[in-house]
Amino acid sequence: MLFHQEKFSKEALIEQAKRNIENLPNIITVMRISIALAILIFYLFIPNTNATIKFNPILLYMWEGVYSLFIIFMLWVPTKDIEEENKWWLISVNMIDVIMMVILAIISGGMASGFSILVLPFVAAICFQVNNRQALFYAAATTLTLFSGIIIDSLIHEDIDISSILLQVSILSLVSFSVSIFSSMSAINTSRTIHAMQETEIQIAKLNELNKLVLEHANEGLIVFDYNGMVILFNQKASHYIPSIQQQETLPELGNILTNWQNNVYLPFDDKSLIGGMEFMIHATPLTEQNPPNLMLSLRSYEDVAKETQANKLASLGQLTANLAHEIRNPLSAISHANELLQENNIDDVDEHLKIIIEHNVERINKMIREILSLNKRDRINRRVIHIRQYLKSLLTEFMVAHPESVNCIKVKIECTDENTIFMDEDHLQQILDNLMNNAWKYSQKNSDAIRISVIPHPLSQEVAISIGDNGEGVPEEIQDRIFEPFYTTSQEGTGLGLYVARELAQVNNGKLRYRNDNKSFELILKME
C-alpha cells in the first residue's frame, strides 16, 4: 500500500513536470500575442501614450503586421517535432523575437524607451529548453542584437545620449547572460529530477511485484484492514482460509480482534479465533505509517502448525537417528574390541589400560545420551524472571569452583544494572552458558586473559548481548558455517552436540546464539523484560 501511494504521487509529479516543459512553446506564443496586442492597445486606446512614448505610426503598424505573420507561422509550423531533433533551429527561430523587441524599442523612440527589456522573458523561456552551451550562445546573440540596436538607434536619432543607452544595454546584456545560465541550469536539474523519479518509479514497480510475489507465497494468511474494519488487501492463503473474503467488505468472524485493536491502534498483540470451524493463531501488527492506521493480521491454523511441527520433528529425528547410530557404533566397537582383548590377556597393566578405554568410551556414550535427552526436553520450558547481573556472578563462582585453575584468568565486563532482567528457563540458560564457558576455557591459552565475558544491554531493541570469547586461535573461517550442525566436531573428545543444543535452547527461549569472527566470541542475544 505504501509503495502504491508513493508511486501515484511520483507519477503525478513526473507528468506535471513533463506538461510544464511541453507547454513552454505555448507559453512563448501567448507572450508574443500578449506583447503585440498590448502595444497596439496602448497606442490606440490609452490617452497620451504617444506623448510619452514616441511611436512612429507607420513603422508601428508595419511591426505589428510582420510580428503577426511570424506568430501565425509559428502556430502553423509543428515546432515540437523539429525542436526535439534540432535545438539550434529553436534558437534561430526564437532569435526573431529578440530582433523584433529591439526593433520595437527603436521605433518607439529609441533604445532608451525601455522596450528592449522585453527580450528577457524570451531568453528565460528558450534557455530553459537547451543546454548550457546553447544558452550562452543565445545570450551572446541577444547581446549582439542589443548593441546593434544602439548603432541603428544612433543613426536614426542623432540627439540620443549614447553613454546612458550603453549603460542600460550593458546591464541588460549582463542580466540576459544571468537569466540564460539560471534557466539552463534549472532545466538540467529538472531533467535530472524527472529521470531520477522515473528510475525510482521503476524500482517501486519492481518492489511492488516482489511484495506481491512474497505475499502470495507466504505460509500464513495475511489480511490488511483499514481503521473501519474493511478489508483492503489479502493474499491467496487468506482466501484459502476464508473463502468469503472480499475487498472493501468486513469480516464478522474477526470483529472481536478488530475491536481489540481499535482500543489501542498502536499496540501489536497475539490472539486466537475460531473461523469456519478451524482454530487460528493470529498475530496483529498495526501499520502506523498510515493515517489513520491500518491493521495487518497474520493467520495460521493450528492444524497447519501441527503438521509443520510434526514434519520438522520427523526430519530432525531421521537425521538425528542416522547420525546417532553412526556415532554410537564407533565407541561400541572399541568397547567390544577391548573386551575381547581382556579375555585373552592376564597382564595387570594391560588390563588397566583396556579398562580405561572402556570407561572413556562409555562416558562418551553417556554424554551423548545426556545431550540428546536435554534436547528432547526443550519443549518443556519453565520460564521465570532472572536478574542478569546476579545470575552471572553466581555462574562465574560455580565455574571457578569447578575449574580452580581459571581463577584470575577471566575478564568480565557487565554493563547491566541490578534491575535488568530476562524471562527464560534457568536450566536452559545454565546449560548454554556452561557449554560456552567450557569451550572457551578448553581452547584458550589458560593465562590471565584466557576468557573474556561482556554483557551489554541495548535499550532501544530491549535486548541484552552476552558475549563469551577466549584468546585462542578462534574458529577457522572454513568451518564457521558448520559449527552449529549436530554431530559436527573437530575434537576427538567432543560429541558435536554441545553448540547445536545450545542454539536450539536459545531459540526456544526467543533468543539467538551466533559466532562473531571479529572478536572470536560466541554471542547470546536475549530479550530483556
- Rounded to an integer, the average pLDDT of 319-323 is 63
Beta-carbon contacts of 1 under 8 Å, excluding residues fewer than 6 positions away, are 224, 232, 233, 287, 290, 294
Place of cell 547572460: 177
- Whether residue 125 is predicted with pLDDT greater than 50 in this model: the reply is yes
- Whether residue 322 is predicted with pLDDT greater than 60 in this model: the reply is no
Place of cell 577466549: 470
Q: For 22-43, how does the pLDDT look when each residue is reduced to its tens digit (9 = 90+)?
A: 667 777 788 888 888 888 887 7
Q: How far apart are CA 224 and CA 214, in angstroms?
A: 15
Position with higher pLDDT, 399 vs 348: 399
Average pLDDT, the chain: 77
Q: Which of 80-89, 91-100, 336-345 has the lowest mean pLDDT?
A: 80-89
Structure confidence at residue 443 (pLDDT): 86
Beta-carbon contacts of 87 under 8 Å, excluding residues fewer than 6 positions away, are 129, 130, 131, 134
Q: For 147-197, how does the pLDDT look when each residue is reduced to its tens digit (9 = 90+)?
A: 888 888 777 776 667 777 788 788 888 888 887 777 777 767 776 776 777
Position with higher pLDDT, 323 vs 426: 426
Position with higher pLDDT, 370 vs 393: 393
Q: How far apart are CA 306 and CA 317, in angstroms?
A: 16
- Whether residue 327 is predicted with pLDDT greater than 80 in this model: the reply is no
- Whether residue 298 is predicted with pLDDT greater than 60 in this model: the reply is yes
Q: For 203-219, how does the pLDDT look when each residue is reduced to its tens digit (9 = 90+)?
A: 777 776 766 666 666 77
Beta pairing partners, 424: 384
Is the overall model pTM greater than 0.75, yes or no? no
Q: How far apart are CA 381 and CA 378, in angstroms?
A: 6
Q: For 496-512, how does the pLDDT look when each residue is reduced to its tens digit (9 = 90+)?
A: 677 888 888 888 888 88
User: What's the distance, CA 400 to chain centroid?
Assistant: 47
What domains appear along the chain, each with residue ranges and CATH number?
2-198 (no CATH), 219-303 (3.30.450.20), 305-376 (1.10.287), 383-527 (3.30.565.10)
Q: Which of 68-72, 376-380, 399-403 has the lowest mean pLDDT?
A: 376-380
Dihedral sign, Cα of residue 379, residue 382, residue 385, residue 388 = negative
Can you spell out the DSSP letters for 96-158? Answer: HHHHHHHHHHHHTT-GGGSGGGGHHHHHHHHHTTS-HHHHHHHHHHHHHHHHHHHHHHHHH-T
Beta pairing partners, 274: 279
